[in-house]
Structure 1
């Protein structure tokens, strides 16, 4: 295994300059099981690919067991509402869009984009005051994705939003990924950040010797730099095209920079001697179920266009095939990790890589406790 270089952020085993509060060494001290830590809802999360939310249609989304109805009105704007009618709790995602109003499919109660009820068709005079509506969520549409802020709406405006200057740039073309993976979101961060698992991809990437050049970490991030040194073996043609080796297929070392910036993750590939990255990846892993053992992975792979016009267009199917093959192998591994956790009822991993111990610390300290069975099945007051 590649040995990590000395830390450059002032964190030792006991924290900054030997003080308490730094990353905890899981090999020496008992810590909270990361797989029981939920993701912080006070961030912007993609809940759908934009093209899936069609004008005049609804889309059933979910965040950590919280069902959310998306719909695109006549104006083209996307709205996000709690996915239940205030009347009989029927999902609003089963409803009908009329202009910029969402009407429940059951009794035709109508909702505005802010969640307020605009009409109850048969409301009699003098009846009990009807409910005001349902919860609405802040929405932003960018990079071909629909982002929703599932946490405290008062924090939405100041919450960091992904900045991806290469998306839509004339110099790049973007490939979008949207896949469900049956594992806790933390396994995804560990998988991408720990490049020592390249043996898993030997049938696609050939034999590669990853060298950890160094890494830094802080309260909300971990960033690692690797050098990928080819060590022989057959490589998928799409891998060479993606890493800008060109049609000649020359093998050159690539410098890979991977960063977990809570709660997102990025990867950049800079070929040896090049000034610009051959490609960059932005990814978000959005929990689907309340226990957060399933996540939906959204990825934007931004690929630099070569100097020869049309080459990237011709190579696109090969690059897509390559990335799908790599993702399938990664999904197989992380889902196996989740199955082991389910069978054992706890995290029995014996991690030895300091980089992964650090990213676990970041995910653990920035996350929130998952609700217990008692929290989710409390008896009504006075029962």
Structure 2
């Protein structure tokens, strides 16, 4: 059931302050639920006849594109000597290990062991194959229960296929637990962090709703002073930073994805749309890969957006760099303290924490707020 917080927000009375309770799982020890489609590579990064190495939550995956153009995803190890298959060679619709040339089909089964004859017995079953699909210029895999893949839809990305928008794709590694990224985007009260890029912006939370798998917030943004960034104005059709106007921004966590829509003043549709997901890379899930699709409305003179594109890219990279600096600092603090000591006062973020915690999966026996020390080896892996 969805819970509307508009009255509470309007009265300016936050919900009761909540911090991690004894026995409640520490959110930073909650893993991403694998029973969803996650992007693990850009489509253009998996070239025909080539292999690409990627990972999901410590599971190493080898992607390869066969002669037919289809992408396959296999466990990144040869069943023979455990050598990474990502070091191998594509041969038609098979992937050969670089060591002894064992050949694997896209379903993970071994199709040939060159030095064995048919009378030498059946070969091993092979390696795990992941369900894989391509959409939105991304390669998605389903790392969870493969029987659920067929009935689990790919994420919906409104605006991607529309001729009214041009899409900018982002792919960046961030050294933090994925939950920090959800909190960062959903909590727009951190605009002070970006004061040197966008000037002074005043966000006002209009309302928000929470459900079992989602949290959606609506903000009103007003530029109140400071240097206005022209690229920000171009992003929002002369909205944020472009002129003295108010823009409505809607941000939604729909587990495990996030979206953002920005509607400038007096407009009836978004000038900017963002879809994002944060894919854990390591087994401890203290590093994630952020994939984003930023859809920007084309102006009447389409050439203007083409000219502005490099400047918009530079602007967004500056904002992302500042956000990355902050969330990686949060992760380092968690690593040093070994537990979540945050004193959160914003009810919206308390709700999204609940959504991430209840929809995620435990990382292991240490996944409680009572754990007082982080794994030294795992923490050392993340030292920049």
- TM-score (norm. length: structure 1): 0.90
1:274-311: CA deviations, max 9, x gaps?
01101100001000000000000000000000112311
Aligned-pair CA distance for 1:124: 4.5
Deviations 1:156-200 (A, max 9, x none): 011131112311321110000000000000000000000000000
Contact 1:184 1:287 in 2 (8 A): yes
CA contact (8 A) 1:24 1:361 kept: no
SS of corresponding position for 1:130 = coil
**Residues 108-119 of structure 1 mapped to structure 2, 5 A cutoff:** 108-119=101-112
> What pairs up with 1:96-135 in 2 under 5 angstroms?
96-124=89-117, 126-127=119-120, 129-135=122-128
Return closer, same or farther for 1:162/1:231 CA change in 2, 3 Å cut-off: same
Of 86, 94, 115 in structure 2, the residue corresponding to residue 93 of structure 1 is 86
Alignment pair present for 1:6 and 2:7? yes
Of 254, 277, 289, which residue of structure 2 is paired with 1:296? Answer: 289
In the alignment, which residue of structure 1 is the partner of 2:379?
Answer: none
The answer (yes or no) to whether the contact 1:204–1:236 under 8 Å persists in 2 is yes
> Against the structure 1 CA distance between its residues 159 and 182, is the aligned structure 2 distance closer, same or farther, given a 3 Å change threshold?
same
Output the CA distance in 2 between the equivalents of 1:125 and 1:240: 68
Pairing 1:220-235 to 2, within 5 Å after superposition? 220-235=213-228
Which residue of 1 is the match for residue 30 of structure 2? 37
> d(CA) in 1 for partners of 2:160 and 2:277?
16
* Equivalent pairs, count: 358
Question: Could you tell me which residue of structure 2 aligns to residue 62 of structure 1?
Answer: 55
Match of 1:261 in 2: 254
1:353 corresponds to 2:346: yes
Q: How does 1:124-273 map to 2 (within 5 A)?
A: 124=117, 126-127=119-120, 129-245=122-238, 249-273=242-266
CA RMSD of aligned residues (A): 2.1
Give the unaligned 5+ runs of structure 1. 14-22, 375-383
Whether the 8 Å contact between 2:232 and 2:242 is mirrored in structure 1 is no
CA spacing shift, 1:179–1:24, aligned 2, 3 Å: farther
1:315 alignment partner, one of 302, 308, 328: 308
Shift of 1:5: 3.6
Q: Does 2:336 align with 1:343?
A: yes
Query: Take 2:264 and 2:40, find their aligned partners in 1: how far apart are those partners?
Result: 33
Question: CA–CA distance in 2 between the matches of 1:173 and 1:78?
Answer: 25
1:27 to 19, 25, 29: 19
Report Cα offsets for 1:50-108 as digits up to 9, x if no partner. Answer: 00000000000100000000000010000000100111111111000011111110000
The normalised TM-score by structure 2 is 0.89
Partner deviation per Cα, 1:330-380 (whole Å, 9 max, x = no partner)? 000000000000000101000000000000000000000003589xxxxxx
State the Cα distance separating 1:218 from its structure 2 match. Answer: 0.3
CA contact (8 A) 1:286 1:296 kept: yes
Deviation at 1:127, TM superposition (A): 3.9
Question: In structure 2, what is the Cα distance between the partners aligned to 1:369 and 1:210?
Answer: 34
Aligned partner of 1:324 in structure 2 is 317
Q: Secondary structure at the match of 2:36?
A: coil
Which residue in the other structure is 2:371 paired with? Answer: none
Q: Secondary structure at the match of 1:134?
A: coil
